[in-house]
Amino acid sequence: MRKTSKNLREIIANGGMARVMAAHDPLSAMLVEEAGFDGIWASGFEISAAMGLADISLVSMTEHLTNMRNMAARTSLPIVADIDTGYGNAINVLYTVEQFEAAGAAAVVIEDKMFPKVTSLIDGGRQDLLPIAEFQGKIEAALSVRKDPEFLIIARTEALIAGRGEREALERARAYQAAGADMILIHSKQKTPDEIESFIKAWDGKAKIVIVPTAYPQMTEARARSLEKIGILIYGNHAVRAAVTGMQKVFAQIITDGGIQNVNADIVPVSEIFRLQKMDEVKQNEKRFLR
């Protein structure tokens, strides 16, 4: 596993809660690092959206892997790779996990939906779950190919998303921990944190919990820490939403103004892009090496 500037296992083991922000390409990953987050969420939703596609298993494993590898090349933060269902059954998971670890991920999140999946937060979406035993096999497959013991296998249950209730969510979480999962990601699309807080308070396992409070923004970091069982908090899609917000606003103003004369003052100068591209380093290398 690639050496990173932060170690997720250490943060969690020391009683901390890692703050992880979504990214969809190397540039957004670099901005996540500059902002001061503890890790990068290589988000399947964001990568799909950046390609103009629905998050319904249309982006291939190879496409996601290449994007994540490029993020790893441009940042030093640990990357939590969102590998959806593992791109197939347990046999597919063997190859997928092996490749993502080799590409520089610090963790993978595998969810217990059937392949192909449908994005979790869409109203009325199909949310079919695998039998518990079958998903345990996927977790065991992932563990069997892990090379570095620091690499995290995070099992994500969509029981609450699928409307199965807390009892089944807890049953699945316990079974996934028994299969060897390092952490449990519990997801909800309720508009308040009540459902998630109830699950966390009822959770009697040793594995730390991962949450993604996209639908329930009242779950602040302070509130999450007070529950004392959360090891990672993921901001799941805010990079691509921020990018879309900014582009829509700027593009509309250019159309309205008939030019860039007004909007130019509201966006970063080209020099900021040069900084992110490390053009100073390029110029130094040109002086040093070009003959």
Catalytic residue at 25? no
Question: How far is Cα 285 from Cα 281, in angstroms, rounded to an integer?
Answer: 6
DSSP per position, 57-104: T-S-HHHHHHHHHHHHHH--S-EEEE-TT-SSSHHHHHHHHHHHHHTT
Sign of CA dihedral 120, 123, 126, 127: positive
In the chain, count H helices and then E strands: 12, 8
Token readout for 185 is: 């990601």
**Rounded distance between C-alpha atoms, residue 282 and residue 288, angstroms:** 10
Tokens of 250: 């700027």
Residues 6+ away with beta carbon under 8 Å from 242: none
Q: Phi/psi at 39 (nearest 5 deg)?
A: -165, 170
Name the active-site residue from 25, 38, 55, 112. 55
Strand partners, 22: 41
How far apart CA 278 and CA 15 sit, in angstroms, is 36
Can you tell me the distance from the alpha carbon of 291 to that of 289, in angstroms, rounded to the nearest whole number? 6
What angle, 0 to 180 degrees and rounded to 10, lies between the N-to-C axes of helices 26-35 and 61-74? 40
Residue 168 CB neighbours (<10 A): 16
Residue 226 one-letter amino acid: S
> Considering only CA atoms, which of 138, 151, 152, 134 is closest in space to residue 207?
152
Q: 112: closest CA among 194, 168, 36?
A: 168
Active site residues: 55
